[in-house]
């Protein structure tokens, strides 16, 4: 299987498809994804969107936003919406996308990068370190915050 990895600026025509794909995975309104993608495509921000394609099918993706719905507004930017299609898991797609995002941001002078997750053991494989617990907006329980330095 030969996957193609790209940043949204390389294929801006995928914006609507990508926004809908992320919406289906996470339930966040499509318009919220489109607003972030438009800001990136219009170069209002360097917080990008990264996709893994199998032909014209999106099989993995993630974005970078200012804050991923938590109370530590001082910890930014945040990787968000990390997802790999179930039939494509275990092939290193998320790890490759995470590395792409970190390297792309670092090349633009943006480091460190943060993410919130309930997963343990996954992100550590890709150089992420547990930093602290944060309170998610409207969430009863604390969630894990990771950092990539």
pLDDT, tens digit, 9 for 90 and up, residues 35-67? 999 999 999 999 999 999 999 999 999 999 999
Q: DSSP 3-state helix, strand, coil percentages of the chain (rounded to 5)? A: 35, 30, 35
**Helices 30-41/15-26 angle, 10° precision:** 140
Residue-wise pLDDT tens digits, 5-18: 999 999 999 999 99
Q: Residue 136 carries which DSSP code?
A: B
Mean pLDDT of 59-83: 96
Query: What pLDDT is attached to residue 1?
Result: 66
pTM: 0.94
List, in order of start, the domains of the chain with CATH numbers: 4-111 (3.40.630.30)
Query: What pLDDT is attached to residue 123?
Result: 95
Mean pLDDT of 82-89: 97
Residue-wise pLDDT tens digits, 100-135: 999 999 999 999 999 999 888 999 999 999 999 999
Other CB atoms within 10 Å distance of the CB of residue 84: 20
């Amino acid at each position: 299987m030969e996957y193609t990895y790209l940043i949204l600026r390389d294929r801006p025509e995928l914006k609507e498809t990508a926004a809908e794909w992320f919406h289906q995975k996470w339930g966040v309104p499509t318009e919220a994804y489109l607003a972030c993608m438009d800001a990136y495509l219009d170069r209002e921000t360097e917080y990008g969107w990264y996709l893994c394609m199998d032909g014209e099918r999106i099989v993995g993706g993630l974005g970078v936003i200012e804050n991923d719905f938590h109370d530590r507004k001082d910890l930014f930017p945040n990787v968000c919406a990390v997802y790999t299609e179930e039939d494509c898991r275990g092939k290193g797609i998320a790890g490759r996308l995470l590395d792409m995002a970190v390297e792309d941001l670092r090349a633009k002078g943006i480091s460190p990068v943060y993410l919130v997750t309930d997963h343990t053991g996954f992100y550590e494989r890709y150089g992420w370190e547990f930093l602290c617990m944060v309170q998610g907006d409207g969430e009863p329980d604390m969630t894990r915050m990771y950092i990539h330095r």
